[in-house]
Amino acid sequence: QKSRGVPSSRRHREGCDQHRPGLQGGRGERTWGVAMRVGHGMEEELPDATSSLLERGRAAGMESHHYHSVAPHIDPDGTLAHHEPSDMDHMQDLGYVAHAPKHLRTTKQRWIALIVCCSACALASGPVGAWPTLEPLFIECGLFAGPNQNSNLNSVYGLATACSLAGSLPAGFLYDRIGGQKCALYGALFTSVGLLLMAAACFYPAQMSWAMFFGYPLAQFAGQINTYGMFAFIWLLPSHQNLVASCAGGVQSLSDMLALVAVASASKGLFIGSFLAIVSALSILAGLTCYLVVPTKATMMEFAAVSLGEEAAEAMALTSESQDKGGGGGGGG
C-alpha cells in the first residue's frame, strides 16, 4: 500500500522518528535501526561477517536478545510507545550492550577503566626496558663480577631483546586464545617472577648471577604480554581504536621511566635488588587490577558485534531508503 508515492514501511519509520526526541540524525537513530533488526531476530539480513560475529558471541555464552532492551514497543495504531527519558538515557549509557559489566556500561567508565589499565600495565612491565640506565647499578652490586662482566651483561641484554621481538607472535596467539583480561593477569604474574629472579641475582651476585639470564628475558616477554590487555578496549571505544592501540607502546615507554626512579632511589640508599623486589610485588597488584577492569573476551566480542551490526544496519537503512525513493517515484508516475 502506498500513499502519495511513499511506501507504508517508510511512512512507519518516519512516524517512529517523530516520536524519538533527541535521537534524530544522531548515533541513536542508527542504533535504533540495528535494535529493530537484530532485536527481532532479523540478523540474517546482516552481512555474513557480522552474522558470523554474532554467532561467535552466542557461542561464548551470550545471547543477541540483549538488543531487546533498546528495541521499541509499537502500539497497535502504529505509533511508538512512550519511553521515559531516564530509560532512553540508560539505553545510551549502556553503549548498546545491555549485559555489559557495571564498570564498562558508559563511555566515561570505559575511559576510566582504560586509564587504570594503562597505569597498572606500566607497573607490571617494570623498568626492564631501560637496560642502559640500570646497567651501572648492576655493575655496582657486583653482578657478573670479573673479566667477562661486560660480555655477560651484553649477552643478557641481547637475549632479552631477541625474546621480546620474537615474542610478538606467541603473544598475539595467546591474546586470540584467552583474551586481553587473562593476558594482562598472566603477563603481570610472570613479570613478577622475572623481577624476583633479577632481584635475587642482585642480592647474591656471586651465587646467582646466572638468574639474570632467565629473569630479565622473562620479564621482557611477560611484560609485553601484559600490555596486550589494553587491546581489549578497541571495540569498547570504537571511535578511538587507533588511540587505544597506541596506548600499548606508550605504556612500555612509561614503564621505562621507572628506571629513573630506580636511579634516584639508589642515590638515596635503596639497593637495586630491593627496588626490583618492590616492583615485583607491585606487578602482582597490577595484574589483579587489570583482571578486574579489563573486559573479558566474551564481553569484547559482544561489543564488537554491536558495533559492526550498527554499521551494517546503517548501510542497509540507506539502501532501503534509496529503494523506497525509487519505488515512490515509479508509483507517482
pLDDT attached to residue 68: 36
Residue at 178 is within a domain: yes
Number of residues written out for the chain? 333
pLDDT attached to residue 275: 94
Residue at 284 is within a domain: yes
- CA–CA separation, 175 vs 179, rounded Å? 5
Residue at 82 is within a domain: no
Q: Residue 292 sits in a domain of what CATH number?
A: 1.20.1250.20
pLDDT attached to residue 22: 40
Question: 55 phi and psi, to 5 degrees?
Answer: -65, -40
- The alpha carbon of 136 is separated from its chain's Cα centroid by a whole number of angstroms, namely 37
Burial of 271 per CB tally in 10 Å (0-12, 13-18, 19+) = middle
pLDDT attached to residue 153: 93
| Residues with pLDDT less than 70, the chain | 1-98, 126, 310-315, 326-333
Closest CA to 105 of 243, 303, 311: 303
Residue at 81 is within a domain: no
- The alpha carbon of 239 is separated from its chain's Cα centroid by a whole number of angstroms, namely 13
**Structural domain of 182:** 107-307
Sign of CA dihedral 195, 212, 139, 163: negative
- Where is 7: in which H helix or E strand? strand 6-7
Residue at 211 is within a domain: yes
Residue at 250 is within a domain: yes
Q: What is the number of domains present in the chain?
A: 1
Whole-model pTM: value is: 0.67
Residue 321, Cβ neighbours under 10 Å: how many? 12
pLDDT attached to residue 267: 92
- Please, where are the H alpha helices in 204-293? 205-208, 212-227, 241-256, 258-267, 272-293
Residue at 152 is within a domain: yes
Cβ atoms of residues 286 and 120 within 8 Å:
yes
For residue 301 the three cell numbers come to 566480542
Residues 94-108 as b/e (b if ≥16 CB within 10 A, e otherwise) read bbbbbebeeebbbee
Q: What is the per-residue pLDDT across 142-172, written as a single tens digit (0 to 9) for each?
A: 999 989 999 999 999 999 989 888 888 899 9
Residue at 91 is within a domain: no
Half-sphere exposure of 40 (CA within 13 A, CB side): 11
- CA–CA separation, 157 vs 155, rounded Å? 5
For residue 126 the three cell numbers come to 617494570
Please calculate the CA angle 322-33-74 and round it to the nearest 5 degrees: 110
- C-alpha dist (Å) from residue 185 to 9, 160, 191, 227, 286: 51, 21, 10, 10, 8
For residue 45 the three cell numbers come to 539480513
pLDDT attached to residue 312: 65
Half-sphere exposure of 327 (CA within 13 A, CB side): 14
